[in-house]
Structure 1
Amino acid sequence: MKSKSVRSRKQSGYQRLNGVLKGILEEIRPTAEEIAALNEYSNELMGRLRKVVPRNVEIILAGSVARGTQIRGTSDIDIFMLFPKGIAEREMERKAIELAKKVVHRSHGESFVINYAEHPYLKLISEKFGVKADIVPAFKIRDSSEMATAVDRTQLHNQFVMASLSETQKDHVRLLKYILREHNIYGAEARVRGFSGYLCELLVHTFGDITKTLEFFASVKRPCLVEPLSRGVSTAESAKEASQHFKSNFVVIDPTDPDRNVAASVSEESLFRASMVSYRIIKEQSLKAISRYGFSDDDSYRRLESIEKATGLKIYTLKIRLPKISDDTLWPQIVKLSGQMVHFLESYSFKPVITLQEMDGGDGVIAFFMDRQSSSIELVRGPPGFMHEDAVVFYKKHVNKDMDNVSFDGERIFALEEARYKTPEEAIRAALNSKSFRFPSYLKKKSTVLYSKEIPEGCAKLVYRAYIRKMTI
């Protein structure tokens, strides 16, 4: 049991922290005017939809705007069209998109794109209000047992959060989102693999407030099981069982669906960063520990030059013009291409120290930070020595009688040969020109440019952002 003096010191420390958090909250809580404008536009869009959908289709507002946990200036609108069960899923999708298109007023500066998740959905962009609205089809359900698709859960999430969070806790959700966003681990999308808005809401509900949530992260042990319904946390046998069942070291049970891990998207790195950040905040209780202020991507090319000089590394950057499809489709392909290129470089004895990816504004970049700028010799690995016939064939093919160039590294035979590619740039260009080096389906070689010297500022901004995101804690 903790003594009164220990509790007093902790409370005093949190008073300082609470002062910092209060100042941040004043900056991130939406103004009354912003909330009123969002509500007005949301109601207008839902009114338009109700005029065109059949009577048996329910229109609801979802997401952070509906739940009151949005951050100032970052609020997009989520509207769900809830169809009765019984209609075929593909027919429901077709009708939903057809109906959603009818509410887009191009004459009012509105446009749309069709994105794809589990269902196709319409993203409406309003230039006038500076807001995007996702209009998403789903089936109307009462509980998870009636669920036909994963999207159907959202209406249940709405109900749980709105019934479970107090107004103060909603502010604490905003603070948690802000902290995670400052450290690039907010968002469940593939390029972030961090904490979703719903997960933030569940964590604050479970632990009660922002400081207790930070305490949890600061001391988290893996495997970890969080159960929001009972507000329980376990790192014992039940956590091990949950970890095995969900194939994850961090499990947060969805209170609306006990067979779903809300934290499934959270990578090990994101959890580690959340733990480190929380530890620093609890220990330092300062704005510096919370906010990564001072970052700017202005003059990124010069900043990258400084990084090259300070580290001795050379940056090689692929810039790819991206097709107009969803980020969640493109990002895994950029990561896949990055892995393919790293494997190709390593096969010719060029191993990147750091590899970064980023995408924005229709462009994707992959940057390789290399410490080896040239090579006259490369190591060619052969088969295990006990595969005698293959080893002999390898020896005869690679042996150079003018030098002792074949030997064993452990059990595998290897040879030292004149390098096929003398520099990383030669190797990368060879991959780009090789018919056997194939890009993932949505990425095209003809839309790809390699920069090894002067990087255009727009491209440099993406590389520098990726560097900051990866290399700072």
Structure 2
Amino acid sequence: MTQVLDQARKITIPTKQEEEKMKTLSDFLLKLVKDEVTKHSEVVSVELGGSYAKGTWLRGQMDLDIFVKMKKETDEKTFEEIGKKIGFSSMKKFKPYVRYSEHPYVEAEVKGVRVNVVPSYDVEHGNWKSAADRSSFHTRFILETFDQTKKNEVRLLKKFLKGMDIYGAEIAKEGFGGYVAEVLVHHYGSFANVLEAAANFTSGQIIGNPTKKFETDLILIDPIDSNRNLGTAISTQNIGRFMLSARAFLKKPSLVFFTGTKLIPNAKNLKNIIIVKFNYKWRSPDIIWGQAKRGATALSGQLELAGFQILRKSVITDEKSEAAMLFLLRSPVIEKFMVKNGPQIYRRSDSDNFIAANSKNMLTWIDNDGKILSMKEREFYDAKKFLQFLLKKNLSKSGIPSGISLDIKRGFKVIDGSQVTSKSIKKALAELTSTDGLVFSSHK
């Protein structure tokens, strides 16, 4: 393992050139924000946060978080307005746009570096008014408790999580965020120790000292706030991938766990894929991802009610104008006829009601257990045709969020896996139809 980790450090720890670039760029961008801040008396200070400020950022992955701290008396509406105004004004040369967490913040890309200008309140420890208020305390905590060795252990863990495609706390990924990686290393001491622990996680695993009860698959307590569970944002699937990846790496360490592998769609499963594809008017990535995920859940429920069995579902968006909801079905075409189970013949009232409700069915009979059964022809037995009808004729009852209903009204396509041409949808298709050989390793 030592040799593999030495190799991983070479592709994980930033070069001197990258460090110099980030220092120059952070000074420049910090000044742009500070110049704008002078126009607003509500602002107390401006400071760097995130992985760069903590010294846990990855080689080739340069992000910069700039926090605008406002007086705690500032009302929420003013807080959001000033936050956006400062963000847009300071980043105006770099095509800024709004993203959303608990509150809106401004993001831009400057010389290949993603920059976030985030409003927060200047509060005392524990008196949080917004989620972003903890960030400066997180930075201080890491700087006070981590030496350079530990920071590099965090980098190894982040790179591993990226390689396994489970890195990122945003709604698009529902994975392990940067601060989660830092807290795991803080708790277990090293990258290897984190993997040893993850390989043996139990259901409802508790890491840290909670002061209240949480009900999530992984309970990871924020060291600076015992009431906050960092595991809430991590999906069950990603926790599972982390556990299996840890076990596989410990059995047979390899650099490929840090670099990742490219999945290829399994042709055998493509015939069972149904995709609802649509274009949307641009909005914050966090919003469209959330809407698409809720839409996929709604359509999955409708398909199940219609008799189709959903094995897996996924969503994808290019974060510009295209989105899709993908479903892997046991079969996209089911039996033309369905049998409805009725009551026992001894339950007179229920029997009468069942017979009346199914009087027009093609066949009704009593089985050997004394139950009344009735066979009818399904209205839809082809999943593609069902979704086309539902979205075209019955959209209001589909459960699709209102946020994307208008987009779907403007037009959509229902296609199968073999008809995909979009690069982003192909990637989602590969993840949905293929077995990840690294995660599901059979090494003993």
Give the TM bin, normalised by the shorter chain. 0.7 to 0.9
User: Map of 1:214-229 to 2, 5 A cutoff?
Assistant: 214-227=195-208
Q: 1:44 to 1:268 in 2, by over 3 A?
A: same
Q: 1:468 to 1:123 in 2, by over 3 A?
A: farther
The code of the aligned residue for 1:262 comes to: L
Structure 2 residue aligned with 1:255, among 223, 227, 252?
223
Moved more, 210-219 or 385-394: 385-394
What secondary structure does 1:102 align onto?
A: helix
What secondary structure does 2:363 align onto?
A: coil
1:397 equivalenced with 2:357 (yes/no): yes
Structure 2 residue runs without a partner (length 5+): 440-444
Could you tell me which residue of structure 2 aligns to residue 22 of structure 1? Answer: 6
User: Map of 1:271-282 to 2, 5 A cutoff?
Assistant: 271-282=239-250
Q: How far off its partner does 1:62 sit?
A: 0.5
The code of the aligned residue for 1:433 comes to: K
Length, aligned pairs only: 427
Would you say the 8 A contact 2:211–2:227 is kept in 1? no
Would you say the 8 A contact 1:399–1:406 is kept in 2? no
Q: How far off its partner does 1:279 sit?
A: 1.5
Would you say the 8 A contact 1:321–1:447 is kept in 2? yes
Partner Cα separation in structure 1 for residue 214 and residue 281 of structure 2: 34
Would you say the 8 A contact 1:320–1:449 is kept in 2? yes
Give the TM-score, by structure 1 length: 0.82
Q: 1:185 to 1:468 in 2, by over 3 A?
A: farther
Could you tell me which residue of structure 2 aligns to residue 353 of structure 1? Answer: 311
Q: How far off its partner does 1:251 sit?
A: 2.0
Q: 1:257 to 1:170 in 2, by over 3 A?
A: same
Structure 1 residue aligned with 2:420, among 455, 459, 470?
455
Could you tell me which residue of structure 2 aligns to residue 467 of structure 1? Answer: 432
The code of the aligned residue for 1:140 comes to: D
Partner Cα separation in structure 2 for residue 195 and residue 456 of structure 1: 30
Q: How far off its partner does 1:138 sit?
A: 0.6
User: Map of 1:224-303 to 2, 5 A cutoff?
Assistant: 224-227=205-208, 242=210, 245-288=213-256, 291-293=259-261, 295=262, 303=265
Could you tell me which residue of structure 2 aligns to residue 93 of structure 1? Answer: 80
Question: What is the percent sequence identity of the aligned residues?
Answer: 23
The code of the aligned residue for 1:335 comes to: K
Q: How far off its partner does 1:37 sit?
A: 1.2
Q: 1:111 to 1:416 in 2, by over 3 A?
A: same
Could you tell me which residue of structure 1 aligns to residue 183 of structure 2? Answer: 202
Would you say the 8 A contact 1:124–1:133 is kept in 2? yes
The code of the aligned residue for 2:132 comes to: V
Partner Cα separation in structure 1 for residue 364 and residue 386 of structure 2: 26
Structure 2 residue aligned with 1:378, among 318, 322, 338?
338
Q: CA RMSD in A?
A: 2.8
The code of the aligned residue for 2:260 comes to: R
CA offset digits 1:148-192 (Å, max 9, x no partner)? 112101110010011111111111111101111222221122232
User: Map of 1:7-18 to 2, 5 A cutoff?
Assistant: 17-18=1-2
Would you say the 8 A contact 2:338–2:377 is kept in 1? yes
1:159 equivalenced with 2:140 (yes/no): yes
Could you tell me which residue of structure 2 aligns to residue 122 of structure 1? Answer: 106
Partner Cα separation in structure 1 for residue 283 and residue 435 of structure 2: 25
Partner Cα separation in structure 1 for residue 345 and residue 294 of structure 2: 32
Could you tell me which residue of structure 2 aligns to residue 300 of structure 1? Answer: none
Would you say the 8 A contact 2:263–2:431 is kept in 1? no
Partner Cα separation in structure 2 for residue 410 and residue 76 of structure 1: 68
Could you tell me which residue of structure 1 aligns to residue 442 of structure 2? Answer: none
Partner Cα separation in structure 2 for residue 469 and residue 43 of structure 1: 45
Partner Cα separation in structure 2 for residue 355 and residue 385 of structure 1: 40
Moved more, 422-431 or 365-374: 365-374
Q: How far off its partner does 1:405 sit?
A: 5.4
Could you tell me which residue of structure 1 aligns to residue 114 of structure 2? Answer: 132
CA offset digits 1:110-145 (Å, max 9, x no partner)? 11112222222111233xx0222110111112312x
Q: How far off its partner does 1:419 sit?
A: 1.9
Moved more, 251-260 or 265-274: 265-274
The code of the aligned residue for 1:448 comes to: F
Could you tell me which residue of structure 1 aligns to residue 18 of structure 2? Answer: 34
What secondary structure does 2:120 align onto?
A: strand
Structure 2 residue aligned with 1:180, among 150, 155, 161?
161
Structure 1 residue runs without a partner (length 5+): 1-16, 228-237, 298-302
